[in-house]
Structure formats: structure tokens, C-alpha cells
Homo-oligomer: A and B are copies of this chain.
Amino acid sequence: MGRKSLKETRRLEIIKVFYQVAKKEGYENTSIAKIAKVMDINPSLIIHYFETKEGLTYELIDHILDRYLLIYTIKNKGKATLADIQGTIEMLFSKKWNLLFDDGLFYTFYALAFREKKIKLKYKLILDALRNGLALMIEQCNEQHITNVENPQVTADFIFVLVDGAYFYLSMESDKKAYLDRLAYYKQKAYDALSISSVKAVSAPVC
């Protein structure tokens, strides 16, 4: 008896709006009042569902990291193909995953991790998950003799160092051509580490 709980849907709605507002105006400029205004609800309703702003923030971080994890979906086929690993490399060095989450916010909370152990652990977990996923994929490729990588984990880590290091610098680069050239260079380094050939360039569609 009593009313049906909207708790989970409402919470998710709030987090999503929080994300959008923070994306636009920055996390430090996003208040509970602002979120409430956008949603056309009362600020106290947000407190009702999250208790404190800190609680709300933690959930936003989870939300962003979940999206970050979507960079690649690990296919549980058990057998990764050449196309799979090529697709993963292409994805990692493309800008597609910028659509998944906001870089600025990702780094904002990354910076916060230096002062908050809880957040640091969250980030560590996600970064490891990605690296382990790639290592697993390389292992499967090894088994099928698609690759012959001595230490899949070390190679996976190395590829992510290339990705993270490249984007760290390139995020400050505004010259589009320079951006793409550099990225292509580091992508090739990744292919070299795997000793596989890069995916064939797809010809542009004729309009």
C-alpha cells in the first residue's frame, strides 16, 4: 500500500541533468538550485534523494565513469577476431569516445581524486578494467595466432599509455590537422606493439 516509489528513475533523471549542466557551466559552478531550476522542481527534492551534494557528486562520477567504460564493449564471444582488435585500436585513437562523456568533467573529477581517496579508487578501478579488457582481447588473439604478443598485459598497458599521453597533450591542441596527424602517429605505434597491420582506410562516401 502507499505510493509507488519513483526513487531510482528520479535519481537518474537528476544525475543526468547534473551532468548536462556541469558539462556546460563546469562542476564548480553547478549548484543544486541550478539543477532544480532546469528540471523545474524544488531544490529540496534533490536533497531528499541524495542527502548531500557530496552524495550527488559521487553518483555523477559513477555515471561518468560508467560512460567512460563504454569506450569499448567487451564482446564475450570468447574469441576475438582481427577485426575486433583493430576496431578497438581505431576506437581508442578516434574522437568518437569524446561523444560518450565530457573530457572537461572527466579531468575535473580526476583532479579531485588527488584529494579524495574514494574517487581515486573509483578511477583506478575503471582504468584497470579498460586495461584488463584489452589484455584479455590480446590474449585471445594470441591463442588464435592473430597476434604473437609476449606479455599481453604489459602491451595493453603500453597502448593505454599512448592513448592517455597523446590525449593529454592533444586536448590542448587546437590545430585540427596537427591533432589528427599526431594521433595517427601514436595509433601506428599501437599497431606496431601488436605487430598487426592497421585497418584499411575507408574511402569517403560519394555524395
Contacts and interface: CB of A to CB of B under 8 A. Distances in A.
Interface of A: 26, 28, 102-105, 107-108, 110-115, 120, 123-124, 127, 154, 157-158, 160-166, 168-169, 171-174, 182, 185-186, 189
Contact of A165 (B28, B160, B173): B160
B160 A161 contact: no
Contact of A166 (B102, B103, B161): B161
Given A111-B111, A114-B103, A166 B169 contact: no
Given A103-B114, A110-B111, A161-B168, 19 more contacts: A26-B112, A28-B28, A104-B115, A105-B111, A107-B110, A108-B108, A113-B171, A113-B172, A114-B171, A124-B173, A127-B169, A154-B185, A161-B161, A161-B162, A162-B165, A163-B165, A164-B168, A164-B169, A165-B165
A157 B182 CA distance: 9
Contacts of A171: 113-114
Contacts of A164: 164-165, 168-169
A123 B182 contact: no
A169 B129 CA distance: 12
B26 A115 contact: yes
